[in-house]
A = this chain, B = another copy of it.
Amino acid sequence: MSASALSGILNVPRLRADFPVLERETRPGVPLIYLDSTATSQKPRQVVEALADFYLHHNANIHRGIHTLAEEATAAYEETRARVAKFIGAASPREIVFVRNATEAINLLAYAWGRANLKEDDVVLLTELEHHANLVPWQMLAAERGIRLEFVPVTPEGTLDMSALPALLAREPKLVAVSGMSNVTGFQPDVAEIARQAHEAGALVLVDGAQLVPHAPVDVQALGADFLAFSSHKMLGPTGVGVFYARRELLEAMPPFQGGGDMIKRVTFSGFTANDVPHKFEAGTPAIAEVVGLGAALDYLTAIGMENIHAYEQAIAAYVLPRLQEVPGLHLLGTAQERRGAVFAFWMDDIHPHDIAQILDHYGIAIRAGHHCAQPLHLKFGVPATARASFYLYNTPDEADRLIAALYKAKEVFA
Contact = CB atoms under 8 A, between A and B. Distances in A.
A297 to B, nearest CB: 11
Interface stretch (A66-74, A184-192, A313-321, A343-351): A66-74
A261 interface: yes
Given A52-B52, A60-B366, A263-B136, A285 B239 contact: yes
A5 interface: no
Contacts of A241: 240
A238 B51 CA distance: 10
A27 B69 CA distance: 11
A104 B284 contact: yes
A357 B66 contact: yes
A368 B319 CA distance: 57
Contact of A368 (B34, B40, B64): B64
Interface stretch (A170-178, A267-275, A302-310, A327-335): A267-275
Contacts of A263: 136
B366 A69 contact: yes
A43 interface: yes
A259 interface: yes
B261 A133 contact: yes
Contacts of A360: 67
Q: Lowest 5 CB-CB distances: which A-B pairs, in order?
A: A103-B284, A240-B287, A136-B259, A240-B240, A103-B260
